[in-house]
A = this chain, B = another copy of it.
Amino acid sequence: MSITNFQFYNPTKLVVKHDAAPEIADYIAADNIKSVLLVYGQGSVKRIGVYDKVVEALKSKNITIYELPGVRANPELQTVIKGIDICRCHKIEAVLPLGGGSTYDSSKAIAVGACFSDDIKSEQIWECYENKRIAEKALPIYGVLTISATGSEMNNGGVVQNDALKKKWSFGADCLYPKVSIVDPKIQSFLPWYQQVNGFVDAFVHVVESLINIDEPETVETTYAYDISLCRSIINAGDKLQINTNDHVARANFIWAATCALNYISGVAMSGGDWATHLLQHSMAAVDTKISHGAGLGVAFPAFVKVNAMRGLRLKTFDRIAREVFNKQGWQGLIEGFQDMLKRWGHPTTLNELFGREVN
């Protein structure tokens, strides 16, 4: 991948539609699939009613449902292994994440492990994250996304945390693109504001990390200009949703921007991006799982900018983002604009605020 040699491939069908969650059963039935593992989190999907609707739709299509509840934010390896065991035991044909990015990321790992041959143990899924095993086959994934943030609904990667090793690592493979993802904008209006902001920040940082690896923005103008427009869309939508969580037009704009932030289109010809901010957050989360992904990124990104700028790196790129996204100048302007945005949305900007205590 370089400025003149690049590719784009993404076969996921993304459907953004009000009240459409039950339609996932139609897509599954159309592919003649008879059983699914339903992967969800701490029960919020039951409280808002979407769980019942999806289960009812699956039953009406005679699809057998197995369940894996309890997926947490910063999703955990042991839950994934449990999911793989269930799939292998019952010869389940597809995986259905119902929730946010962590249900998707867990489902991707489960989909791979479910296809392991008999001589491979379920816990060996971790070898994929260690680059010691290649994922060549996976069960198909049909998902319903309830929080736009990670982009996992339309990409081929995922992150899982190994609590025992204190490692939060990622892996990807072409067999992991979800076949269909449905996003119901209305569901997201019920999310707590803090969680919404986590999504805004995650999506924003995905775009910036995609574009930040290039020193001469004008050489990748087509993608660069797109990325700037995505950043602005995310901020515009966030500001509107802070005023009115039921602004469905702003929500739809954010949903699409968040997906595009990590469905690889924001990184076309960008030489792979630079994911240091995400890696920093992953390490924070491995130390303290209560640190939400978006909040950690918000603290890590300005530090990343400063360290680079002090070494004279990426100054032109930082300046351009500062000017075109925040109407400010230079790397200091980028940090200032970014932190103003966090403060306006009520998010922490320092490690002390993040951990809720003094951090050295």
Residues on A lying within 8 angstroms of B by beta carbon are 3-18, 20, 185, 219-223, 225-226, 228-230, 232-233, 236-237, 248-249, 251-254, 256-257, 260, 265, 268-269
Is A219 within 8 A of B257, CB to CB? no
Is A221 within 8 A of B253, CB to CB? yes
Contact partner, A222, options B185, B225, B256, Cβ 8 Å = B256
Known: A4-B16, A7-B16, A8-B14. 14 other contacts (CB 8 A): A4-B252, A6-B256, A7-B17, A8-B13, A11-B11, A220-B253, A221-B232, A221-B236, A222-B229, A222-B230, A222-B237, A222-B254, A222-B260, A225-B233
Contacts of A252 in B (CB 8 A): 3-4, 6, 269
**How far does the alpha carbon of A222 sit from the alpha carbon of B20 in the complex, in Å?**
22
Is B14 within 8 A of A9, CB to CB? yes
Contacts of A20 in B (CB 8 A): 5
Q: Sort A-B residue pairs by CB-CB distance and give the 9 closest, nearest first.
A: A225-B229, A11-B11, A9-B13, A222-B233, A4-B252, A222-B253, A7-B15, A5-B17, A222-B257
A10 (CB) vs chain B CBs: closest residue: B10
Chain A contact residues, majority secondary structure: helix
**How far does the alpha carbon of A13 sit from the alpha carbon of B230 in the complex, in Å?**
23
Is B249 within 8 A of A233, CB to CB? no
Contact partner, A13, options B5, B7, B16, B229, Cβ 8 Å = B7
Contacts of A18 in B (CB 8 A): 4-5
Contacts of A226 in B (CB 8 A): 226, 229-230
Is A249 within 8 A of B3, CB to CB? yes
Q: Nearest chain B CB to A31's CB is how many angstroms away?
A: 14
**How far does the alpha carbon of A248 sit from the alpha carbon of B20 in the complex, in Å?**
44
A236 (CB) vs chain B CBs: closest residue: B221
Contacts of A232 in B (CB 8 A): 221, 225
Is B221 within 8 A of A233, CB to CB? yes
**How far does the alpha carbon of A9 sit from the alpha carbon of B15 in the complex, in Å?**
9
Q: Find the residue from A185, A232, A233, A256 having the highest chain B CB count within 10 A.
A: A256
Q: Nearest chain B CB to A298's CB is how many angstroms away?
A: 22
**How far does the alpha carbon of A185 sit from the alpha carbon of B229 in the complex, in Å?**
26
Contacts of A11 in B (CB 8 A): 9-11
Contacts of A257 in B (CB 8 A): 222
Contacts of A7 in B (CB 8 A): 13-17
